[in-house]
Structure formats: structure tokens, C-alpha cells
Amino acid sequence: MTLRLYNTLTRRKDTFTPIDARDVRLYVCGPTVYDRAHIGNARPLIVFDVLFRLLRNLYGADHVRYVRNITDVEDKINARAAERGISIAALTAETIQGFHADVAAIGCLPPTVEPRATDHIGEMIAIMRRLVGSGHAYEAAGHVLFHTPSMPDYGKLSRRSLDELVAGARVEVAPYKQSDGDFVLWKPADPSSPGWDSPWGRGRPGWHIECSAMSWKHLGEVFDIHGGGIDLIFPHHENEVAQTRCAFGHAAMANIWMHNGFLQVEGEKMSKSAGNFVTIHELVEGASFGGRRWPGEVLRLAMLRTHYRQPIDWTVQALEEAEKTLDRWYSLAEPVATEPQAEDASGWLDSLADDLNTPAMLADLHRLFADDPAEAVRGARMIGLLQQGPPAWRQQRRADLGINADRIQRLVDERLAARVAKRWADSDRLRDELAGMGVLLKDNKDGTTSWDLNGRSAF
Ligand code: AMP
Ligand code: ZN
């Protein structure tokens, strides 16, 4: 099986060859914990979870290390804690707890390691010492800055010249900078905000250095795959590359760089001011999108219907379609008794191994459900779908639809009894009552009655 992945560094699909097939290493930038994750944030979470699952399938679950960090020191965190009048520790603890609930709801496996920035200040200082020592960084006015002209191929990942980069990043022009494109590794902290002692005084890290420190600590100086959303290519990933490569002297930080495309909502950029900002939590628990809650697997399937590098439009219609698909797949999965095991993958694995082509893979599964449901279930489970038993799915769906299945069954039974006793008026009254609930009855030749709700026999 050849795994091919589109590499932002080379701008083509590269064949994936791990540095060590017994220890495949993946890093993905995680959340800054000041607020609940929105559905745009769910995209990299789901996409790289699928990659993690695929790598585990190909190399063995014990031979893949997935690191997804938590950024728990940032200006936005300080500002939000002050705004809410709570401590930074309380805000980050609450947000991390919510984040864990959200990723579980959308079916993501826990990463192998979930490091927190504030536990890695020592590694950040070690990297900065190296950079200052080798002339790639300098101290100025209590800051430590990376000197971009010191790195001849700075800008290689985002393929922009330094001039373009400076303009694109709208970097703050500060008098203490030697060059406009220089970026902050460490900045002074006033006594009221979080800070750590360092050789350059009490301060706190910039965002980019955090990921260089955590990936180094948990994956080493060079690792296999680095991922994140497309907006992170510049400046965040470009600067991670600069720090890590210049600190350790390798030609690469990660061999493959993967970036997911952006998500918009009903054709528009998601924003608080546009009123279309939707969190994972609201989708799975609330009624703010399409007026109802949605099962986590519906969100996951809706996300995977679009290839991860394409933009995705998040619509109520797409969620309804994904839900219908799951209703169908769960009913087809019902007779599949055995716990799935990897065998003949009938094409779906090839689709997935072709740069995570999930739309092609889902088409494979649609076909396969007709011929070999056990194999189709295996494929669906591999990408984090059909994670519960069909009865559990049905029960949840009925609860969501406000269907009281026991009550329906009782009325159906009463009507059957009325028919058997030839009490036709009672039988007709019960039939009408059920019809009013959307229940259609089918009287079978063998004297039994089955029912169907709004055309969905699974319920
Ligand atoms: P942030 O909290 O903005 O740093 O984002 C966390 C992750 O979510 C990063 O990988 C972002 O690239 C990604 N992300 C943020 N907004 C979107 C969006 N609308 N669509 C897709 N990915 C997004
Ligand atoms: Zn990062």
C-alpha cells in the first residue's frame, strides 16, 4: 500500500516514507484555549484524526505518535480572563474540559500526547539560547527576536519573498527590530500577566516558539508530518520551520506539511458579526443550526464528504444528507455481527491512501454496502463512523425526533388487538391517531403489523 500525501512544501502529492516505520510521527497545531472550538476548528481535528487512524492502520497502532498541543499562554487568554473576571487558570481549565468534550463528540481518538505550552518553557528557552548563540536571534528591549535575513531560505514553505511576507503578515514595525520581517520569540511580561524567568528577563513566549518546543520535546528535531489549517502556513508554520531548522541545523523540520482548506457557513465566511458563528458544542447540544441538535457522527460525515484541501460549505442540507446516509448505513449494518478486522479492503483503503480522498472512499462504501456490508462497516469504522451499535443510534435518533417508540408500539398493539376482535371503529381510531404522529402502518399477510415513521423504517 502506497500512501500519497499532498505536501505544501513541494506543492505536489509525495509518496509518504516514514523516517522510522516503527515510530511514525505527526504534529498538529491545537487550540488556543480561551473559547469553545467552532466548526471551522473541527475540520483539522477530524481530518488529522482520519490521517492518524489511517497511519495506525498501515503501520500498527503502537507505531504512530500523534502530538496535538494546547496553547495555554496567549494574549487572547489574558484578555478573556480579565473580561470575565476569572483567573487564567480557571479559564484555561474550563476551556480544555469543553474542548475534550467536543473532540470526543465528533469521534476523534485522543492524540498520543497532548502537551501544554506552559509545561515547555524550559524547551523554549533552550531553543532560543541556541538561536541567539548562532546569530539567528537577538535580544532587544527585553524581547528575543528571530532575525529572518539570517536564514537564506526563509519563506520556502509559503513561497513568498521576505518583502511579500512582511507585507502579508502586517508585522508590527517596532524600533527595536533589526529587520521588518523579524518576529518575536519572547516578550517581556508586566508583573500582572503570566511570566517566566529567562536569561532575557521575566517574560512570556510568542506563539510560534511554543510549537517548535513541543514538537522537539515529543517528536524530535525532525519528524514526518506537520499539519494544520491553511491559514497557518504563514506566518505560524513558516516561523516554526525557521526556529526549528536554525536551532538544530537540519534541512527540514517535518518532511510533509499538510493543510486543510477553510470552512464557511451557508456560503459565507463564519464570523460573530455575521451571526453565523457556530461552535461544535452548539451543534451537538444546542438548537442554533437548523433549529436542532446533530449527532457527532453526522458532523464528521458531513465534513468528510468534501476533500480536505477543498473549501467546504457547511449547510443544514449537507447535514441532513449525511444523517440520511448514516440512517441507511446503520440499518444495513444491523445484520453485521462480527467485530470488524482488517482484511480485503475492496478499494476504500486505496482511496483513503490517495491523499485522504474521503469523497471517493465514501462512494466506495456506498457501493460496498450493497455487496459486502461487513467490509463496508469495516471501512466506515476506520474513519470513525458507525462507532455505536445500530440500536444505540436508533434510540438516540428517536429521542432527537421526540419519538416515543414504546408509546407507538403500544398503540400499534392495541390496534392489532382491536382488529383481531373485529372492533373496527377502535381499530380505525387508533390508525388515525398513529397517522397523526407520522406513523404509517403496514398490515402483513401473517397477521402482524409493522410501522414506519416518515418513510424511515429504521425508526
Ligand atoms: P485557531 O484557534 O484560529 O488557531 O485555529 C485552530 C485550527 O483551526 C487551526 O488549524 C486553523 O487553521 C483551523 N481553522 C480555524 N478556522 C477555520 C475554518 N474556518 N476552516 C477550517 N479550519 C479552520
Ligand atoms: Zn503550531
**Residue 456 — very low, low, confident or very high, per pLDDT cuts 50/70/90?**
low
Span 284-302, mean pLDDT? 94
The three cell numbers of residue 356 are 485522504
Query: What is the Cα gyration radius of the chain?
Result: 27
- Percent of all residues in the chain with a pLDDT value above 90, rounded to a whole number: 79
Q: What is the mean predicted confidence (pLDDT) over 70-93?
A: 95
Give the pLDDT score at 405.
Answer: 77
Ligand nearest to the CA of 46: 1
Kindly state the average pLDDT of the residues 26-46: 97
Residue 37 CA to ligand 1 center (angstroms) comes to 9
SS3 category, 66: strand
Average pLDDT, the chain: 92
Residue 156 CA to ligand 2 centre (angstroms): 17
| Contact between residue 35 and residue 281 where contact means Cβ atoms under 8 Å apart | no
- What's the Cα-to-Cα distance from 418 to each of 207, 287, 407, 426, rounded to whole Å? 72, 40, 17, 6
Residue whose CA is at the smallest distance from ligand 1 atom 18: 40
Element housing 162 (H / E): helix 162-169
417, amino acid identity: A
Read off the pLDDT of residues 13-31 as tens digits, 9 standing for 90 and up: 999 999 999 999 999 999 9
Protein residues whose CB sits closer than 6 Å to any atom of ligand 1: 29, 31-32, 40-41, 43-44, 228-229, 231-232, 260, 262-263, 270
pLDDT band at 167 (very low <50, low <70, confident <90, very high): low
Burial of residue 191, with CB atoms counted within 10 A of its CB: 0-12 exposed, 13-18 middle, 19 or more buried: exposed
Q: pTM of whole model > 0.85?
A: yes
Mutate to test the pocket of ligand 1, among 8, 36, 43 (most ligand atoms within 8 A of CB): 43
Please report which confidence band the pLDDT of residue 458 belongs to, taking 50, 70 and 90 as the band edges.
very low
**323 pLDDT more than 70:** yes
Q: Say what the pLDDT of residue 54 is.
A: 98
What ligand is nearest to the CA atom of residue 206?
A: 2
Residue 204 CA, ligand 2 centroid: distance in Å: 16
| Contact of 352 with 307, CB cutoff 8 Å | no
Q: Which tens digit of pLDDT belongs to each residue from 395-442? A: 888 888 777 778 888 999 999 999 999 999 999 999 998 888 878 888
